[in-house]
Structure 1
Amino acid sequence: MDNYTLIPTPKTPRLYFNAQNGEFEISGRSIPENSIEFYKPLLEWLDEYERNPRSETKLHVNLEYFNTSSSKCLVEILRKLEKVNEKQSVKVFWHYEEEDEDMMESGEDFKKILKLPIELVVVKGGG
């Protein structure tokens, strides 16, 4: 299975999904014109990954900002990882800058609605 990677743009995040080692990352800004179209290939990739996941999968979410439609897509991504977690270990690391309460609250919200181990990770703001 090939890895799924996308280079970030000012409106779309870096997507790095390594099928060989189970290391996944979503980072940057997620405000694409059409979130559903943007994330659709990744969701399809995750369907394939779910059939034969690594023994441990780690997703690092390190977004500085995402819009409402991206939020819905993030839930879809995490729901697919819930299915992987029924077979193999999945850990989600939700990174946020210490002064960014909105991003911290988003991580806490995802923790409440999903059956996944989500660890909130504080990133010290660069001054």
Structure 2
Amino acid sequence: MEPLFIQGTQNTPEFNFDVENLFIVLTGHSKISKTNDFYQKITKYITEIEKIRPIRLEIEFNLNTICRNSKRGILFLLMRIKEIQMNINTEVKINWLYKPNNELVKAIGEDLEYMVMIPIHLKPIKKNSSPALELEESF
């Protein structure tokens, strides 16, 4: 399976799948229109993960803005991840980073956790710190 990198735009987040480390990152703004197939493409790509039968998979969401259409796209992506987890018993860890003053992004993470029934680790990003460093400290 090949790694996948999609450059972020004003309306779509950056997507990076590091196949070697089985680590997926979505970063930036997610303000897609109803006709934008960004999350459909990613979900289709994620389906290929099942073929390599990973023991573990880590996903990090670091989104500043999420619109209703994006929430739906993320929901379907997480539902596919849940299927993979159940089908091949993959250990899945999902980190949901948010700025402490961004209650909407935090609430969307909580909603998605409830809807998909998969643990999502909500992690506030402290001011003047790197999210990667905070995650490192939490292991």
Could you state the TM-score of these two structures normalised by the residue count of structure 2? Answer: 0.83
The RMSD of aligned alpha carbons is 1.5
Task: Give the equivalent residue in structure 2 for 1:50.
Answer: 50
For the pair 1:121 / 2:123, whether they are aligned, the reply is yes
Deviations 1:72-110 (A, max 9, x none): 000011011101222210011010001111111111111
For the pair 1:91 / 2:88, whether they are aligned, the reply is no
**Secondary structure of the structure 2 residue equivalent to 1:107:** helix
Matching residue within 108, 114, 123 for 1:106: 108
- Alignment coverage as a number of residue pairs: 126
Q: Mark the CA change 1:2 to 1:46 in structure 2 (over 3 Å): closer, same or farther.
A: same
**Offset, 1:115:** 2.3
Deviations 1:22-54 (A, max 9, x none): 100111001134564122221111111123232
Alignment partners' CA distance in 2, 1:26 and 1:40: 14
Q: Mark the CA change 1:109 to 1:33 in structure 2 (over 3 Å): closer, same or farther.
A: closer
**Secondary structure of the structure 2 residue equivalent to 1:9:** coil
Which has the larger strand fraction?
Answer: 1
**Offset, 1:125:** 3.6
In terms of mean alpha carbon deviation, does 116-125 or 26-35 score higher? 26-35
Structure 1 contact 107–120 (Cα < 8 Å) conserved: yes
Aligned sequence identity (%): 22
In terms of mean alpha carbon deviation, does 30-39 or 45-54 score higher? 30-39
Could you state the TM-score of these two structures normalised by the residue count of structure 1? Answer: 0.90
**Secondary structure of the structure 2 residue equivalent to 1:82:** helix
Task: Give the equivalent residue in structure 1 for 2:134.
Answer: none
**Offset, 1:61:** 0.4
